[in-house]
């Protein structure tokens, strides 16, 4: 029986560990927190997962909360103009619904499931010296802990990492009491509110520890008017700032948020990080190797909501590659080839995310504007969140955008 060590108990690490476990591998999972500590801790992300990523969970029968989590059937875009008036407002329908499950709920539940199924859980914040030791005991070491000392083992890929500094200041609040959008009260949608020169506000339904809730998520330009959450320790102050900014820049969202309250004392999160692609293989001091997983090797800004989706897709790719490899050695060539398989998916996410972090060119503004009058365009844009590779066909190049819009106005949109 092959022995595999997975370091990190997030979306990718747990999904991969549970998948390997189901195929008879002897898996050890290292987590710096227990399931109870995760469940009672602070929120970790926004994690709206679209159809393809959700299907990877279903394939492994890990969709424990699917019947309880809100079904997000649409994705809407609003653009603020002068005087905080909406100059664009539309919603596209998703081909398959999306869902968000608070990672405190999911990761705690998955970690307990892994242990109940006979997996070995080691509660320990791993250091490089630990991996050096463990690499001699295991056939494969996978690092899916996206922060801290371990990430520094994986060198930055300068050719694929255009940014050295964070491009957004991030602030999240989980709330109860948000009213429905009057435009579509009959179904749930993720709302993407773009405020030029300021940042973005995302609003999405979720399932948290206390049931149905909504997430208010500001992404502010560093040094701008939304970059005010650093050093804020009081959750109530965090929420108050969130609502003040909504009232000022997105009053249409604020109008349904006047009665919200935080879900719990751990329902806020703030931070920032530089989007980075790293080389996938770490060389340990004693000569061993470790393979980076998901955010460790491809960390994009959350402006396109791809983090947990990419993590699920990475885990699925790595699981297939490990199963196909059989009893052969997990050498550096295999590790690089496995990452390259994942990069074929991740490169589209990275390209799209980096494009959305910049000032949108005229043809992209035209596309977003046209979606308000052309439902097929709105639908296609919305479904790009599930399959970002489609943006190659109509988003990046003015000529392709113009050709697509011309075809969309003359009949059904190409897809």
- Mean confidence (pLDDT) of the chain: 96
Tens digit of each residue's pLDDT (9 = 90 or more) over 94-103 = 999 999 999 9
Look at the chain and count its residues: 415
Instruction: State the CB neighbour count (10 A cutoff) for residue 71.
Output: 14
pLDDT score recorded for residue 184: 74
Q: Mean pLDDT lowest for which of 1-5, 34-38, 62-66, 183-187?
A: 183-187
- CB-CB contact of 217 with 172 (8 Å): yes
- CB-CB contact of 301 with 199 (8 Å): no
Confidence tier at 415 by pLDDT (50, 70, 90): very low
Q: State the pTM of this model.
A: 0.96
Tens digit of each residue's pLDDT (9 = 90 or more) over 114-130 = 999 999 999 999 999 99
pLDDT score recorded for residue 64: 98
What's the distance, Cα to Cα, between the start and end of the chain in Å? 45
Over residues 20-37, the mean pLDDT reads 98
Burial class for 363, CB neighbours closer than 10 Å (0-12, 13-18, 19+): middle
- What is the percentage of the chain residues whose pLDDT exceeds 70? 99
pLDDT score recorded for residue 411: 52
CATH 3.50.50.60 boundaries in the chain: 3-62+102-163+275-357
C-alpha distances out from residue 196 to 201, 226, 303, Å: 11, 12, 14
Over residues 128-138, the mean pLDDT reads 92
C-alpha distances out from residue 14 to 31, 69, 142, 275, Å: 10, 20, 11, 23
CATH 3.30.9.40 boundaries in the chain: 72-100+165-271
Has residue 414 got a pLDDT over 60?
Answer: no
- CB-CB contact of 386 with 55 (8 Å): no
Confidence tier at 269 by pLDDT (50, 70, 90): very high
Over residues 233-246, the mean pLDDT reads 98
Sign of CA dihedral 177, 211, 207, 14: positive
Dist CA 199 CA 372 (whole Å): 21
Confidence tier at 221 by pLDDT (50, 70, 90): very high
Q: What angle do CA 39, 210, 66 make, to 5 degrees?
A: 85
Tens digit of each residue's pLDDT (9 = 90 or more) over 191-208 = 999 999 999 999 999 999
Tens digit of each residue's pLDDT (9 = 90 or more) over 340-375 = 999 999 999 999 999 999 999 999 999 999 999 999
Has residue 83 got a pLDDT over 60?
Answer: yes
pLDDT score recorded for residue 413: 42
- In this structure, the strands spanning 289-292 and 281-283 are antiparallel
Burial class for 24, CB neighbours closer than 10 Å (0-12, 13-18, 19+): exposed
- CB-CB contact of 69 with 47 (8 Å): no
Given CATH 3.30.9.40, say whether it is the number of domain 72-100+165-271: yes
Question: Domain 3-62+102-163+275-357 class?
Answer: alpha beta
- CB-CB contact of 306 with 190 (8 Å): no
Over residues 208-236, the mean pLDDT reads 97
Has residue 251 got a pLDDT over 60?
Answer: yes
Chain-centre distance for alpha carbon 221: 19
- CB-CB contact of 281 with 336 (8 Å): yes
Confidence tier at 148 by pLDDT (50, 70, 90): confident
Chain-centre distance for alpha carbon 373: 29
- In this structure, the strands spanning 211-220 and 199-208 are antiparallel
pLDDT score recorded for residue 397: 97
**Pick from 52, 68, 88, 48: which is nearest to 190 by CA?**
48
- CB-CB contact of 147 with 186 (8 Å): no
Strand partners, 156: 278
Confidence tier at 410 by pLDDT (50, 70, 90): confident
pLDDT score recorded for residue 185: 76
147: helix, strand or coil: coil
Dist CA 83 CA 234 (whole Å): 31
Angle between helices 307-325 and 332-357 (to 10 degrees): 160
Has residue 412 got a pLDDT over 90?
Answer: no
């Amino acid at each position: 029986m092959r022995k595999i060590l997975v370091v990190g108990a997030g979306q990718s690490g747990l999904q991969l560990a549970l998948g390997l476990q189901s195929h008879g591998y002897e898996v050890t999972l290292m987590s710096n927190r227990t399931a109870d500590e995760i469940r009672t801790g602070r929120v970790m992300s926004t994690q709206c997962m679209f159809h393809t990523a959700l299907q990877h969970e279903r394939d492994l029968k890990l969709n424990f909360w699917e019947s309880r989590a809100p079904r997000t059937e649409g994705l809407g875009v609003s653009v603020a103009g002068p005087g905080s008036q909406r100059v664009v407002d539309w919603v596209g329908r998703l081909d398959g619904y999306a869902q968000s499950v608070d990672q405190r709920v999911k990761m705690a539940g998955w970690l307990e499931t892994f242990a109940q199924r006979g997996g070995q859980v080691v509660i320990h914040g791993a250091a490089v010296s630990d991996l050096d030791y463990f690499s001699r005991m295991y056939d494969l070491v996978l690092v899916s802990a996206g922060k801290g000392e371990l990430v520094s083992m994986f060198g930055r890929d300068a050719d694929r990492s255009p940014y050295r500094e964070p491009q957004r200041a991030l602030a999240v609040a989980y709330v109860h009491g948000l009213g429905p959008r009057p435009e579509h009260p009959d179904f749930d949608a993720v709302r993407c509110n773009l405020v030029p020169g300021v940042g973005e506000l995302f609003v999405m339904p979720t399932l948290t520890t206390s049931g149905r809730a909504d997430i208010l998520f500001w992404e502010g330009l560093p040094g701008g008017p939304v970059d005010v959450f650093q050093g804020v320790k009081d959750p109530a102050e965090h929420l108050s700032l969130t609502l003040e900014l909504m009232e000022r820049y997105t009053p249409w969202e604020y109008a349904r948020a006047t009665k919200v309250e935080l879900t719990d004392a751990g329902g806020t999160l703030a931070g920032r990080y530089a989007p980075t692609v790293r080389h996938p293989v770490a060389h340990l001091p004693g000569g061993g190797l470790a393979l980076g997983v998901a955010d460790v090797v491809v960390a994009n800004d959350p402006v396109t909501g791809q983090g947990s989706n990419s993590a699920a897709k990475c885990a699925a790719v790595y699981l297939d590659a490990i199963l196909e490899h059989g009893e052969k050695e997990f050498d550096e060539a295999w590790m690089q080839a496995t990452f390259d398989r994942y990069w074929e998916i991740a490169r589209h996410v990275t390209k799209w995310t980096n494009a959305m972090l910049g000032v949108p060119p005229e043809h992209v503004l035209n596309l977003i504007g046209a979606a308000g009058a052309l439902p097929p365009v709105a639908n296609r844009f919305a479904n790009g969140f599930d399959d970002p590779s489609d943006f190659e066909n109509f988003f990046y190049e003015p000529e392709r955008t113009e050709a697509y819009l011309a075809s969309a106005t003359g009949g059904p949109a190409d897809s």
